[in-house]
Structures are given as structure tokens and as C-alpha cells.
Amino acid sequence: MRGKLTIALAALACCGFGAAQAQAVEYANHVEVGGGANHFGPYVYFYAAETYPYGTALACAGVRGVGLNCAVNSGESVGIVLPYDVEAEPYIHNHSTWTSYFNGYYYK
């Protein structure tokens, strides 16, 4: 019986069923970003970055050295997802012409 349980646990571990679920980390909360300016997060391992604007700002989410994704409509949330972890900086770009506030997340 104990042997079967060990085999089952080993199978779960080997096949990835026990893989830890990814999680969100908030790196910026209500941070002020000038029109056209960036706010860079920490240098970390992660696979996705996300930006939420306050009000009617045009938000962008970027991964330095990989790419940038911007909203076109006011108030939309935006993100960028990579197929594997990279060591880089997630960042917020304010695509509006005015200063606004944003939340920034990365997923690891």
C-alpha cells in the first residue's frame, strides 16, 4: 500500500501536476508617471508584466529589452506574456500626454 502511494506521489511530481501555481507580485501601487515617461520595476525573474491605469490614462506594460504593449482606449489594462522566465525589469509606460497614476504587476 505504502509502495503504491509512493509511486503515485512520484508520478504526480514528475508529470508536473504538483507544479507551483504562478503568482502576481505588485511592484507599483498608485505610482505617479509623467506623460510619455516610464516607471521601471525591480530586476527579477518573471514571465509576464501587467499595468492598470487610474482614470483615463493610456497604459503600457513592458519588459525591458523584449517589448512594449500599449492600450489604445482609455482605462484599458494591458500586459505582456512571455513563454518562459526572463531576468529583466517589468515597466510601466504612460502613453498619455498628461501625468497619471498606475499599478504595476509582474507574474513569476
List contacts with another protein (CB under 8 A): 16-17, 19-25, 47-48, 50, 52, 61-63, 65-73, 75-86, 105, 107
φ, ψ at 3 (rounded to 5°): -65, -45
Q: Which amino acid is at 108?
A: K
State in angstroms the smallest separation of the CB of 28 from another protein: 13
State in angstroms the smallest separation of the CB of 3 from another protein: 27
Q: Given the complex with another protein, which of 1 and 49 has the nearer CB atom?
A: 49
State in angstroms the smallest separation of the CB of 44 from another protein: 14
Q: Given the complex with another protein, which of 78 and 92 has the nearer CB atom?
A: 78
- Nearest-angstrom CA–CA distance, 20 and 80: 21
Whether the CB-CB separation of 59 and 92 falls below 8 Å is answered with yes
Residues 26, 88, 40, 70: what is their CA dihedral angle, to the nearest 10 degrees?
Answer: -80
State in angstroms the smallest separation of the CB of 99 from another protein: 19
φ, ψ at 4 (rounded to 5°): -65, -40
Q: Given the complex with another protein, which of 4 and 49 has the nearer CB atom?
A: 49
